[in-house]
Structure 1
Amino acid sequence: MSLRKAKIKDATEIFSILQQFALKELLLPRSLNSIYEHIRDFFVYEIDGKIVGVGSLHIYDENLAEIKSLAVKEDYHKNGIGKEIVNACLNEARELGVKKVFALTYVPQFFEKIGFKITDKSNFPQKVWMECIHCVKFNDCKEVPVVIEL
């Protein structure tokens, strides 16, 4: 078992895991091209050489970062893998000097257990006007914004 930064060779497996959740509408879809472009943002969790969990930290500026594309294969739920990935993202944000980290999630309870608080999307205009505005679910978004101060 190991948690590490993603490598280029991991992109197709990251895409496959995210796609499984996107098809169930539990995550927003990401293109393989987007994963390649942002591969340095990703962490992967491996068991016996097989990637079973993924997540990424996207930096907006010195004050704000977002945890995105957090997914753990269903057979590995309830083993603390998601929490480890989130903690790795938070540690990286601290090391970089980021002051606040947020996520948009359909499972706010998961993040609340780690110390995040439910908030309002209006606190993240960078996200809303750079990304959310282009989303097909923009006018009917059911994601809950959560945030943690570092």
Structure 2
Amino acid sequence: MIRRARIPDAKAIQNLLITYAKDGLMLPRSLSDIYEGIRDFYVWEEGGAVIGTVCLQICWEDLAEVRSLAVAEGHEGRGVGRRLVEACLQEARALGLKRVFALTYKPVFFGKLGFHEIEKSELPHKIWRDCMKCVKFPECDEIALSIDL
């Protein structure tokens, strides 16, 4: 079941994200950061456990980012990630946003959802504040994709 994240979900969200961060697939997020942005997160819960998460972060009046998409090991390939991203896109439309982007190592996954590859230079500089914390900056090898709503 997909639902909005709640305060008690923060540690489970962080544990999911840490798994991907350790593999260099996303930036780690501190527990404090997750608490501050908990209203931006969705979770997929099964049997009382959080097995997936995603965040929709508003960047500008017409732009948001899908970020922190993570699905627990053993639950991949079941549509959890797709449904979480779709929840973000539905919210983005309801908010009147015109475009959503993602920085990812999984462009095929996002492509199946209607995203198309773009140059990172098309994104506003404001979004790079988190990138500057990354060990890969400025040699980022993530792929930028976006979808027009």
TM-score interval, smaller chain: over 0.9
Distance 2:92 2:48 in 1: 26
The Cα shift of 1:31 comes to 0.8
Match of 1:80 in 2: 79
Match of 1:66 in 2: 65
Distance 1:26 1:32 in 2: 18
Match of 2:93 in 1: 94
4+ residue runs over 3 A deviation:
none
Q: Which runs of 5+ in 2 are unaligned?
A: none
The Cα shift of 1:131 comes to 2.7
Q: Which runs of 5+ in 1 are unaligned?
A: none
Match of 2:104 in 1: 105
Distance 2:45 2:132 in 1: 34
The Cα shift of 1:97 comes to 0.5
Distance 1:27 1:8 in 2: 22
Residue 106 of structure 1 aligns with an amino acid whose one-letter code is Y
Match of 1:18 in 2: 17
Match of 1:117 in 2: 116
CA RMSD of aligned residues (A): 1.0
The Cα shift of 1:139 comes to 1.6
Identity rate of aligned residues, in percent?
49
Q: Secondary structure at the match of 1:78?
A: coil
Residue 8 of structure 1 aligns with an amino acid whose one-letter code is I
TM-score, normalized by length of structure 1? 0.95
TM-score, normalized by length of structure 2? 0.96
Distance 1:108 1:33 in 2: 29
